A and B are shown apart, each in its own frame.
Chain A
Amino acid sequence: MIDYKILNFPTFPISKQLFVASGQAIDGGMTAGGVRMLSPEPGGRSMLELQPSLQVNEWDYPLSSWLMSKVNGDIFRVRLAPTPQVAGSRVAASQFKNGIPWDSDQPWSNQRNWDGDATASFVTPALEGSNTVVIETKAIKSILRNGHVIGHGDVTYMIDDIQYNGSLATITVNPPFRKKINPNDIALVRPFFLGSIANGDEMRISYDAENNGNIQLGVIRLNEVIL
């Protein structure tokens, strides 16, 4: 077993973040009518696009410079920033205005609830390579919809389809599960993504030494890495 080094992606401000699990497709040819046929790649890799904001303090914390050297397959663990894809960033803000209570709907003794990111849990097991599982959403209420992301371990999955039965939700995800899921595993609502930078060349163009340490990095595209 190879021991891979996993780097934590720097938590600098970003202006855009998009997780896509479209996977890839293979060209299937061109028909007489001019239609391009695509044959979708089963279990294709997912992708994360990040647009960093203007980095204002490169003089003191040259993170952009460091990042630009980590483009040869170095593996990053990225904590997804709260965007609309992450359920519980704004949906939860209206539902859990004052944080999340205990299981019994009771707050702490000082009348405060739990603060921070909510999690759900997996109910049924799912084998590596399959794509359907049941999760218990009692703790986060039924805020998950298709289009939201869900995490298991270091992998992010896009919810393709979701059906509620009480607080139990049967979800179909894309890409298929990369690791086996055991009952009671934690389903992260704000997941982690494991990827390596795919567009190192484009990123490097923007390092401008003249503008006072303000660096505007271009879009960073990370391809999913499966360990």
Chain B
Amino acid sequence: MSEFYETLEEYLGEQDDVTDIRAVVRRCWFYDFAEQPVRLWQGQGKLFTTDGNEWLGTIDANGTDYHKTPAMQDGRDGSSPSYRMSMPIIDLPNEPAFKLYEELKADQWRVSGRRVICYLAIFNQGEALRPQTPLSFFKEMTMFSPQFSEKVDVNAAGTLVKKYEVSVTAKDNNYGRSNVPRGTYADTIQKERARQLGVPLDRGAEFLGLLANRTYQIP
């Protein structure tokens, strides 16, 4: 059992009354965007973990969590539900939300096929924002497509505000299990795979074209 669950067990202890249990556990999200990974956690301020990473809190001083995440299913039933994580773009001084929104749009190639990993962090009493218990792995998903939405809203003071929101759709690792392994196999595809691997020329599949419309007996 990992140190996380041992610590959790300690907090649970012998107690059988829920009111006696008080373990502070939060989720940490690792978005592995190409070249620019982002680490978020469900809390306020910066979190520092034992692996030397910094996580940015998504809850503001009023307790609003800007990072909208769905409830997770465990994938043991073999299903592969879609999860949608979203975040509004906040207006920063000297940085209009629209500009950031457009920049993110231009950067959307970083999303597809990349991982999102959810970890759990447990906080002992008096540990502040540097928990000593290592993070516990919770779930890994693959991101598919980003979505961008903008709308005009009326805020509490009666002013019209433009709201921008960015979200990603992800599926867990059960996705694609029913696909045929390796898919199509052809000369052009083999050369493209080789090019992606850095091999200048792979002629290993050039004979495939000759096999069309012929019948072979496998000896």
Q: Interface on A for B, CB 8 Å cutoff?
A: 2-5, 23-24, 26, 31-33, 35, 37, 39-45, 47, 127-131, 172, 175-178, 198, 201, 223-224, 226
Please, which residues of chain B bring their CB within 8 A of the CB of A5?
A: 93
- Closest 9 A/B residue pairs (Cβ): A176-B128, A129-B129, A131-B128, A223-B61, A43-B129, A45-B61, A129-B48, A35-B19, A129-B130
User: Which of these binds chain A: B39-47, B142-150, B175-183, B199-207?
Assistant: B39-47
Max count, chain A CB within 10 A of own CB: residue among B61, B63, B95: B61
What are 30 inter-chain pairs, A to B, with CB distance below 8 A? Answer: A2-B92, A3-B93, A23-B44, A31-B18, A32-B18, A33-B17, A33-B19, A35-B19, A37-B19, A39-B24, A41-B44, A42-B24, A42-B26, A42-B43, A42-B47, A43-B43, A44-B44, A45-B45, A45-B61, A47-B61, A127-B48, A128-B129, A129-B47, A129-B48, A129-B128, A130-B130, A175-B128, A176-B45, A176-B128, A198-B62
- Does B18 lie within 8 Å of A45, measured CB to CB? no
Please, which residues of chain B bring their CB within 8 A of the CB of A2?
A: 92-95
Please, which residues of chain A bring their CB within 8 A of the CB of B59?
A: 24, 41
Shortest Cβ distance from B130 into chain A, in angstroms?
Answer: 5
- Does B130 lie within 8 Å of A127, measured CB to CB? yes
Please pick, from A26, A32, A43, the residue contacting B45 in the complex, using a CB distance under 8 A: A43
User: A31–B17 Cα gap in the complex (Å)?
Assistant: 9
Q: Mark B15-34, 1 if CB is under 8 A from A, else 0.
A: 00111001011100000000
Q: Mark B78-102, 1 if CB is under 8 A from A, else 0.
A: 0000000000000011110000000
With A39-B22, A129-B46, A223-B62: A3-B94 Cβ-Cβ less than 8 Å: yes
Does B126 interact with chain A (Cβ within 8 Å)? yes
- Does A37 lie within 8 Å of B126, measured CB to CB? no
Shortest Cβ distance from A198 into chain B, in angstroms?
Answer: 7
Max count, chain A CB within 10 A of own CB: residue among B25, B46, B62, B129: B129
Please pick, from A37, A44, A127, A130, the residue contacting B22 in the complex, using a CB distance under 8 A: A37
User: A128–B130 Cα gap in the complex (Å)?
Assistant: 9
- Does A198 lie within 8 Å of B130, measured CB to CB? no
Shortest Cβ distance from B154 into chain A, in angstroms?
Answer: 15
Closest-by-CB residue of B relative to A46 is: B61
Shortest Cβ distance from A114 into chain B, in angstroms?
Answer: 34
User: A49–B128 Cα gap in the complex (Å)?
Assistant: 24
Closest-by-CB residue of A relative to B123 is: A42
- Does B19 lie within 8 Å of A31, measured CB to CB? yes
Shortest Cβ distance from A225 into chain B, in angstroms?
Answer: 8
Max count, chain B CB within 10 A of own CB: residue among A45, A127, A201, A224: A45
With A37-B22, A42-B26: A24-B48 Cβ-Cβ less than 8 Å: no
Max count, chain A CB within 10 A of own CB: residue among B17, B18, B26, B123: B18
- Does B126 lie within 8 Å of A131, measured CB to CB? yes
User: A178–B128 Cα gap in the complex (Å)?
Assistant: 11
User: A47–B26 Cα gap in the complex (Å)?
Assistant: 23
User: A4–B157 Cα gap in the complex (Å)?
Assistant: 24
Please, which residues of chain B bring their CB within 8 A of the CB of A24?
A: 44, 59, 61, 63
User: A172–B47 Cα gap in the complex (Å)?
Assistant: 18
Please pick, from A32, A45, A128, A172, the residue contacting B126 in the complex, using a CB distance under 8 A: A172
- Does A128 lie within 8 Å of B93, measured CB to CB? no
Please, which residues of chain A bring their CB within 8 A of the CB of B17?
A: 31, 33
- Does A43 lie within 8 Å of B128, measured CB to CB? yes
Please, which residues of chain B bring their CB within 8 A of the CB of A31?
A: 17-19
Shortest Cβ distance from A36 into chain B, in angstroms?
Answer: 10
Please, which residues of chain B bring their CB within 8 A of the CB of A131?
A: 126-128
Please, which residues of chain B bring their CB within 8 A of the CB of A128?
A: 46, 48, 129
Closest-by-CB residue of B relative to A196 is: B61
- Does B93 lie within 8 Å of A42, measured CB to CB? no
